[in-house]
A = this chain, B = another copy of it.
Amino acid sequence: MASNQAALSRFLDRLLRRSMLNADECGAVLGLTSHARQFRPNFDIVSPGETVDHSCLVAHGLAARYDQMADGQRQLNAFHIEGDMCDLHSVVCPTAAWGIIAMTTTTVLQVPHAELRKLVGEYPAIALAFWREGTTEASILAKWVGNIGRRDARARLAHLLCEMGVRIETAGLGTRNHFWFDVTQSNLADAVGLTAVHVNRMMQGLRGDGLIRTMSHNIYVDDWDSLAEAAEFDPDYLLLGSGKMRDSGQQPLAAKIA
């Protein structure tokens, strides 16, 4: 279970990025039991409409949440990197309309809802930390709505690359200037609401202008500032700002220290 521990530790790190938890609470998170499962690329981790009794922690690989259209088209609406509990909200809403799919070969840890509910019941600060994670998800989704609704193809792609770069860097899995992002151009198209053909041309544009290079699913951002400018990227919506909160004390950290 060594690898399970490593993944739980990543998950805890993610929680601690936005919420303060004390030693007991951290221990409780690390004490979660889980069952590892591996998924091949393009296989469903959770099928649309499925009712689940566990949440999925991405231990290795890359997963995405998606919405399926009647004509078979697909729209991705989130990427889940290592340490993300992609299904955390299923604790309170066990039947979701969306599905979760493995982008690359992906190992997930299935954590029983019963255990998560127990945590939430025993530690109010964890309940609020989980709620805060959900709010972060919503904030990212809202940004995606704007990105897809109001930006052209080039900016959409640039924005997605900026987001993934910052998230991966924050999670300690790479840097914003070089990270591993194992998606096909067709997947990218499904994420930004474009066609694979058009994504191809726009990526050529970004490469041609010297903003990025791509080598076998490694993204090298050679000119971060220009990429961020093309994307109108402002990381505030990732809610990584200073306001880390301690909920048992019912006070923001800053207020508590003062």
Q: Is A150 an interface residue (CB 8 A)?
A: yes
Q: Is A32 an interface residue (CB 8 A)?
A: no
| B-chain residues with CB within 8 Å of residue A146 when the two chains form the complex | 67, 69, 75, 77
Q: Bound complex: CA of A125 vs CA of B92, how far in Å?
A: 11
Binds B, one of A2-10, A38-46, A170-178, A238-246: A238-246
| B-chain residues with CB within 8 Å of residue A131 when the two chains form the complex | 89, 92, 127, 130-131, 134
Q: Is A124 an interface residue (CB 8 A)?
A: yes
Q: Is A196 an interface residue (CB 8 A)?
A: no
Within A238-258, which residues are at the interface with B (CB < 8 Å)? 239, 241, 243, 245, 247, 250, 252
Q: Is A95 an interface residue (CB 8 A)?
A: yes
How near does chain B come to A51, taking the closest CB pair, in angstroms? 8
**Cross-chain contact B75 with A150 (CB below 8 angstroms):** yes
| B-chain residues with CB within 8 Å of residue A138 when the two chains form the complex | 89, 134, 137-138, 141
Q: Bound complex: CA of A117 vs CA of B249, how far in Å?
A: 10
Q: Is A144 an interface residue (CB 8 A)?
A: yes
Instruction: Pick the contact of A139: B69, B93, B237, B245 (CB < 8 A).
Output: B93
How near does chain B come to A157, taking the closest CB pair, in angstroms? 13
| Chain A interfacial residues counted at CB < 8 A | 59
Q: Bound complex: CA of A51 vs CA of B130, how far in Å?
A: 21
Q: Is A193 an interface residue (CB 8 A)?
A: yes
Instruction: Pick the contact of A69: B65, B136, B150 (CB < 8 A).
Output: B150
Q: Is A148 an interface residue (CB 8 A)?
A: yes
Q: Is A23 an interface residue (CB 8 A)?
A: no
Residue of B nearest to A89 (CB): B135
| 19 residue pairs from A and B, CB less than 8 Å apart | A49-B236, A67-B142, A67-B143, A69-B150, A69-B151, A92-B128, A93-B136, A95-B243, A97-B143, A117-B250, A118-B250, A120-B124, A130-B131, A131-B131, A134-B138, A141-B142, A141-B145, A145-B148, A150-B193
A-B contacts besides A77-B146, A120-B128, 4 pairs, CB < 8 Å: A65-B142, A67-B150, A97-B139, A141-B141
